[in-house]
Amino acid sequence: MSAVPGGAPAATRRFDVCNGDADGLCAVLQWRLHTPAQATLVTGLKREIELLDRVQAVPGDEVLACDISMQRNLAALLRLLEQGARVRYFDHHAVSEVPTHARLEAHVEFDAATCTSLLMDRHLGGASRAWALVGAYGDNLIAQGDALAGTSGLGGARGRLRMIGEAVNYNAYGETEQDVRIAPRRLYTVMARYRDPLQFLAQEPIVAELDGLRLADLQLARAVAPHWRSEHASALLLPDAPWSRRVLGCVANELANAHPQRAHAVLKPIVSGDYVVSVRAPRVAPGGAAQLCALFGGAGRAAAAGIDRLPARELGRFIDAFAAAHWGAKKAG
């Protein structure tokens, strides 16, 4: 704990840092329902990943990091630890090595069948299971969500919990906050009023509004013909428009669910003329997405990954690499 010169120790400062999608927001919300305390929320849109850069720490500060790639936040993480902060880190994205430090508590797993909300749920013993399910459904872990709901007495609520998760997740996609209906940090403050997400759904019109916008945007995407397709993979190139910026991840998830034997890439031009890319490994072989995207400066996890900026000149090379990719769990040895 930091001290005020000549006085009593200063109060602990807390920072909750997370991705602005359903998985990140629901992971933090579970923690704060279990451990109530005043904290500064640091979040952003889906592709705002290097969020630890926004935190400056002093000795005794506490940082909770959820669903942001440790690989892409490693320098900032080490800086915060050096500044004297204690960091709890929950994440499921690929990282080459998790550092060892006395003030770092890391819960990092890369299994394609998990997400940060489920890691938090396990850590807290299911204390806010319904919110964990919202995060899992938002991360497109439908089978895992359905199974956990069934064993938790929430089977009858699966459809509603999935709707909330998909709506919250949809709201995270956009190039700027002007693209989305509500900034993720503002959406979290509304979510945090409720211990039960079903009450959130019943009391807050924002959920139905987001779901309606999501379905309308998906309908526009369904009218776009594939840019390239084979028996085992398909690439969809969306136009640059506010609706396509919002729906990019939802389209990738919908295609992965509808065609589980195929890998899917959804691309969209950005202002520079380059592309942003979302990749989904085949549902029947959920591995390889992060490795593919890493070849082009991207990152993610085994089943789902992305590229923030694919140079336009690299589009053909990306399609070739995508067509030749080997999907499924990476073999050891």
Domain shared by 73 and 208, yes or no? yes
pLDDT greater than 80 at residue 279 = yes
Q: Which of 158, 188, 212 is the last residue of a domain?
A: 212
Distance of CA 207 to the CA centre of its chain: 18
Is residue 91 within 8 A of residue 99, CB to CB? The reply is no
Q: How many CB atoms lie within 10 A of CB 224?
A: 14
Q: What percent of the chain has pLDDT over 90?
A: 90
Domain count, the chain: 2
Q: For residue 104, give the 3-state DSSP assignment.
A: strand
Domain shared by 240 and 320, yes or no? yes
The alpha carbon torsion through 216, 219, 223, 228 (nearest 10 deg) reads 110
Domain shared by 167 and 238, yes or no? no
Domain of residue 238, residue span? 225-324
Domain shared by 121 and 248, yes or no? no
pLDDT greater than 50 at residue 1 = no
Q: What is the pLDDT of residues 191-246, one digit of tens each?
A: 999 999 999 999 999 999 999 999 999 999 999 999 999 999 999 999 999 999 99
Domain shared by 313 and 284, yes or no? yes
Q: What is the pTM of this model?
A: 0.91
Is residue 66 within 8 A of residue 19, CB to CB? The reply is yes
pLDDT at 10: 63
Domain shared by 233 and 161, yes or no? no
Q: Which of 212, 240, 257 is the last residue of a domain?
A: 212
Domain shared by 255 and 173, yes or no? no
* Residue 238, CA distances (Å) to 142, 148, 220, 226 in order: 25, 34, 10, 9
Q: What is the pLDDT of residues 50-75, one digit of tens each?
A: 999 999 999 999 999 999 999 999 99
